[in-house]
Amino acid sequence: MTAEILVCEANALLEGGKGIRFPLRAGGEDTTGFVVRYGGKVYGYLNRCAHVPIELDWAEGEFFESSGLYIMCSTHGAIYMPENGQCAGGPCRGGRLRPIAVSEHDENIYWQPDDYVGPRP
């Protein structure tokens, strides 16, 4: 089993609210991932737009657009479905956010490294 890395306490992540960013290394670069709660479940993604590889949030942790139904890139307005990261509109054209495995247990939220994303050294 791959080691889990603590992101935050579970109660810090509110339904459709601010996401929580966390540091990681992806493809040899220092960057961030994030978790959001949507539909009662926690989802994790690499904080990188499928359109242009830039961070999505317009202020730290602000990933949802005003309706709270979609994750939105603050730069060009690409929108993504929170439950699967699939592009739902805008310039991302069939792209999707890169998922990060997350789990919620013992009143905490954790992420799991894989062959592309891992902890920063």
pLDDT in tens, 76-110: 899 999 999 999 999 988 899 999 999 999 999 99
| Max CA pair span of the chain | 39
Rounded distance between C-alpha atoms, residue 29 and residue 55, angstroms: 13
Domain ranges of the chain: 5-114
Rounded distance between C-alpha atoms, residue 35 and residue 48, angstroms: 13
Percent share of the chain, pLDDT over 70:
98
State pTM to two decimals.
0.95
pLDDT digits (tens, 9 = 90+) for 34-77: 999 999 999 999 999 998 889 999 899 999 999 999 999 999 89
Q: Residue 2's pLDDT is what?
A: 63
Report the SS3 class of residue 4. coil
Structurally, what CATH architecture does the domain formed by 5-114 represent?
3-layer Sandwich (2.102)
